[in-house]
Amino acid sequence: MSVRGFVDDNPALVGVSIVNPKVLGLNHELRSIVAEKKIDRIVVELRDRRGRLPVDELLKLKMGGVGVEEATSVYERVTGKIAIENLKPSWMVFGEGFEVSRRILVQKQIVSFSVSLLLMLLCAPLFPLIALLIKLDSEGPVFFRQERVGQNGKTFTLLKFRSMRQDAEKDTGPVWARPEDKRVTRLGRYLRRTRLDEIPQLINVLKGEMTLIGPRPERPNFVQDLSNTIPFYLLRHSVKPGITGWAQINYRYGSSVEDAIEKLQYDLFYIKNISWALDLLIILNTVKTVLVRKGS
């Protein structure tokens, strides 16, 4: 088993991703390499199982003051997401985080209910105006109803103001929504940019089907396909879905399996590190996104 790494004295390179680092030596040379290069931290990638992990060498280095970290944890800290390519269940079981206590979930639901009730009262005057504009803009109902998957795999009916034409999936069946979707109505584009189409989801929160912050709920047919393709996908259902979330403020509009993988990595980070501080950060960034009218 070889020792790979990148060594450079240029402080400007700190935090830069390095592709295909060069081989510095073999396992038995690890301590001499550390001494020669004046290395103060080692990141261990456990993907390569072809050789024996140099536990004795790593332990001696750690006891000598050299930091030793597992690559998954470093990646999480630097990127704000959890890489699933080499994710091991043991890392989730024995590591810190992923402790979603009932107390936290109950508190989140109480706060979400209270805030949603207040927002509903504040937004109530907008409902008849938006409903009238939707009716004048295109044929079809005011509200868009769609089955989504919630906590523990239970399905519920998601509510939105309709932003697409009524027969959007008549010829295609269920398909990914896209940023510049041709099925979106003229008014619908404005509703999406301002996030006004999301307001009726406050009703889902009041019914206890959603919270303000959490992974975005997906459609059942997509969940089935994605769970068969993406490892750990169903873990996102361990908490209630949210109107906004960590993935929404960190990643673009998702319209493919690759996007679903990226968003899952952010969702897992949120579930692992769920806290009031993280929720507040998500709220502040969501407000910022709405104010600059980013997205569609």
pLDDT in tens, 68-127: 888 888 899 999 999 998 788 888 888 888 887 888 889 999 999 999 999 999 999 999
- Summarised one tens digit per residue, pLDDT across range 41-59 is 888 876 654 557 788 888 8
- Does 134 share its domain with 239? yes
Q: Is residue 13 part of a domain?
A: yes
Query: What confidence category does residue 177 fall into, taking pLDDT thresholds of 50, 70 and 90?
Result: low
Which phi and psi (to 5°) does residue 111 adopt? -65, -45
- Does 110 share its domain with 68? no
- Does 172 share its domain with 270? yes
Q: Is residue 90 part of a domain?
A: no
Give the integer Cα–Cα distance in Å for 287 and 115. 14
Q: Is residue 286 part of a domain?
A: yes
Q: Is residue 187 part of a domain?
A: yes
Q: Is residue 91 part of a domain?
A: no
- Does 181 share its domain with 129? yes
- Does 75 share its domain with 112? no
Cβ atoms within 10 A of the Cβ of 245, count? 24
- Does 21 share its domain with 158? no
- Does 265 share its domain with 118? yes
- Does 118 share its domain with 63? no
Q: What is the pTM for the complete model shown?
A: 0.83
Closest residue by Cα to residue 205 from 101, 121, 122, 109 = 109
Residue with tokens 């003051």: 65
Residue 14's pLDDT is 38
Residue with tokens 């750990």: 232
Q: Is residue 144 part of a domain?
A: yes
Pick from 19, 47, 79: which residue ends a domain? 79
Q: Is residue 86 part of a domain?
A: no
Count how many domains the chain has. 2
- Does 40 share its domain with 118? no
Residue with tokens 């805030």: 115
Is pLDDT at 194 greater than 80 in this prediction? yes
Is pLDDT at 285 greater than 50 in this prediction? yes
Pick from 79, 113, 143: which residue ends a domain? 79
Listed in sequence order, the residues at least 6 apart from 158 whose beta carbon sits closer than 8 Å to its beta carbon are 145, 146, 147, 148, 201, 204, 217
| Percent composition of the chain: helix, strand, coil (DSSP 3-state, to 5) | 50, 15, 40
DSSP assignments along 11-59, one per residue: GGGTT---SSPEEEEEGGGHHHHHHHHT--EEEE-----SS---HHHHH
Phi-psi region of 140 (alpha: psi -120 to 50; beta: other; left: phi over 0): left
Q: How far is CA 242 from CA 111, 192, 276, in A?
A: 13, 17, 14
Pick from 79, 110, 134: which residue ends a domain? 79
Query: Which pair of structure tokens corresponds to residue 246?
Result: 């960590």
Give the integer Cα–Cα distance in Å for 172 and 183. 11
Q: Where are the beta strands (DSSP E) in 16-71?
A: 22-26, 41-44, 67-70
Averaged pLDDT of the chain: 85
* DSSP category for residue 293: T
Cβ atoms within 10 A of the Cβ of 152, count? 10
**What percentage of the chain carries pLDDT values higher than 70?**
85
Domain carrying residue 263: 102-291
Q: Is residue 85 part of a domain?
A: no
